[in-house]
Amino acid sequence: MRPALEHAPDPGRAVRAHSPHSAALPAGADRAGAIVAALAIFFTLTGNTINVFILLPMSILLWFSFIRPAHRRRYRDAIANLPRWQLRPE
* Any domain includes 54: yes
d(CA 4, CA 14): 22
Q: Is the pLDDT of residue 78 over 60?
A: yes
* Any domain includes 23: no
* Any domain includes 70: yes
pTM of the model: 0.44
Average pLDDT, the chain: 75
Question: Which residue segment(s) compose the domain that 65 sits in?
Answer: 50-80
* Any domain includes 86: no
Domain count, the chain: 1
* Any domain includes 57: yes
Q: Is the pLDDT of residue 19 over 80?
A: no
pLDDT band of residue 27 (cuts 50, 70, 90) is low
Work out the number of other CB atoms within 10 angstroms of the CB of residue 13.
Answer: 8
* Any domain includes 14: no
* Any domain includes 29: no
